[in-house]
């Protein structure tokens, strides 16, 4: 994508030879890629059908909290702790807190209001993976769903299923 840029230049595509290669042409640049054969893995088996915790939060707010936590999480293999708390009663919002810690720099805690259903959650994630996913989600709000700190969870834009990002929590020794 960086090679092509934002220009409206035409892109040429060819499948030369035995069709095990694809080539893209843009201006003075040629990009080639080998086409792999085989059956694509059944990814639906790792995407849970039900979740014990589900939250909805503003995408930009969560992205900012993750970027702040990343500064501190760099010293711990980009591991940041995410706490999800359901509301105490129906008149209060739930909350999600993203925590980055560093022995040298200190700690950062970003707490956000969120619509939370289900059980509380505490899990460590690679903060870079969260940032990468949040940076491409252009919808106003994002949904995070999980079955606990030892199970994969998902992140998706609210109200759509055409983008699903699978998140695997990091194992942390206490």
- Min mean pLDDT across 27-41, 53-67, 123-137 is at 27-41
pTM of this prediction?
0.77
pLDDT at 166: 92
C-beta of residue 53 within 8 angstroms of C-beta of residue 118 = yes
pLDDT at 23: 87
- Min mean pLDDT across 32-36, 67-71, 87-91, 104-108 is at 32-36
pLDDT at 83: 97
Q: Rounded mean pLDDT of 54-77?
A: 95
Residue 58 pLDDT grade (very low, low, confident, very high; cuts 50, 70, 90): very high
C-beta of residue 22 within 8 angstroms of C-beta of residue 35 = yes
Q: Return residue ranges of the chain for CATH 3.10.150.10.
A: 44-167
Is residue 129 classed exposed, middle or buried when 0-12, 13-18 and 19+ CB atoms within 10 A define those classes? middle
CA 120 to chain centre: 20
> Residue 156: how many CA atoms within 13 Å on its side-chain side?
14
Is it the case that residue 124 has pLDDT exceeding 90? yes
User: Look-up: residue for tokens 């992205």?
Assistant: 63
Is it the case that residue 174 has pLDDT exceeding 60? no
CATH number of 44-167: 3.40.50.1010, 3.10.150.10, 3.40.50.12160, 3.30.420.10?
3.10.150.10
């Amino acid at each position: 994508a960086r090679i092509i840029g934002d220009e409206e230049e035409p892109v040429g595509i060819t499948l030369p030879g035995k069709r095990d290669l694809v080539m893209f042409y843009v201006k003075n640049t040629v990009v080639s890629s080998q086409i792999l054969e085989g059956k694509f893995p059944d990814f639906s088996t790792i995407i849970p059908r039900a979740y014990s915790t589900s939250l909805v939060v503003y995408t930009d707010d969560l992205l900012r909290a993750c970027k702040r936590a990343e500064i501190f999480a760099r010293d711990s293999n980009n591991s940041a702790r995410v706490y999800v708390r359901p509301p105490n009663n129906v008149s209060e919002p739930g909350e999600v807190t993203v925590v980055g810690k560093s022995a040298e720099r200190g700690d950062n805690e970003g707490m956000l209001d969120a619509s939370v259903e289900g059980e509380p959650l505490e899990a460590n994630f690679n903060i870079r993976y969260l940032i990468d996913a949040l940076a491409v989600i252009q919808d106003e709000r994002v949904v995070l769903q999980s079955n606990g700190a030892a199970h994969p969870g998902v992140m998706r834009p609210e109200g759509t299923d055409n983008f699903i990002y699978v998140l695997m929590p990091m194992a942390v020794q206490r």
